[in-house]
Each structure stands twice: as structure tokens, then as C-alpha cells.
Amino acid sequence: MRRPPHLRGEAGFSIAELLVTIVLVSVTFVAILTGLMTTIRVSASHRTQATTDAVVRSAAEWVKDVQSNPYRTACNGPAMYSLNGLAMPAGYSATITRVEYWDGSAPAATGTYNLSSRITGSCPAGGDKGLQRITIVATSSDGQATETVQVMKRAIA
């Protein structure tokens, strides 16, 4: 059977070609969208981590500040220092988890002095010797980020 004259020479796409094109465009769109969503999630996670880091560093500066938290010799552990008055973003918290005390021993005449081995969790005999290591932990309320920092605080004579 011959085509009528008005249909001769008209080119078009078959249904199979259209379906292949639709599938290829759909797969490409899904791949781009997946990459975009991954980027957004990673960016949010990084922002949470960076904010938690800023909170813990602010808390460390607050603890080191002599006006806000003067040096305490009472050997009462974390209860000796306070983060009251420290501004924190909503959804973040910081706590002082540990206070450790220097045992007061002087370095030996020879060899190296390892300060870490001279700091203990219990108050040394005779009371505080003038140097404390304070551990501060900041967390985000969603639990995605936790940061820890240790601060050395010394008595100012």
C-alpha cells in the first residue's frame, strides 16, 4: 500500500525512541537530584559540627576567664566552675565534665617532665597545688555532633 502524497517525506519519532529518551532524561535527573541532596545533608552536618566546636571553645574561654570563673582551690570537681551566663545557640549545650589536679611534684634534675602523668582526678594530699585540667564537652541537641576540649587553669598569685 502506498502512502498518500501529503504524508510522504514526513519524519517522526517512534514510540520506542520516545520511551528511551524519557528514561535517559529521568535517570539523569535522579542522579543530579541525589547529588544535590547529598550536598545539602553534608553541609548541614558540617554546620552542626562547626557550631558545636564554636560552643565548646566559647565555654573554654568562659572557664579560663578570671572574672567569670576565678580559680577555685576547693577540690569539688566540676561543680567548682560554672557556665552560667555563657550565651549558647539554641539546640546546643556545654558541660564541665571533669576537673583534674596537679600533684605539685617538681621536675627531676635530669630527664623529661611529663605533666600528664602528674595530673590526677583526685585532690592531692595537702589540697590544690595551683594547676587544674578542666574537661568541657559540647553537644548538639540532635546528637550529630560532640566536641571535647581540655583547658589548663592555674592559680594566679
pLDDT in tens, the chain (157 residues): 666 666 555 677 889 989 999 999 999 999 999 999 999 989 999 999 999 999 999 999 999 998 888 998 888 889 999 999 999 999 999 999 999 999 988 887 888 888 888 898 888 888 889 999 999 999 999 989 999 999 999 988 7
> Would you say 55 and 61 are in contact if contact means Cβ atoms under 8 Å apart?
no
Assigned C-alpha cell, 41: 545533608
Which spans in 15-157 are helix H? 15-64
Q: Give the pTM.
A: 0.75
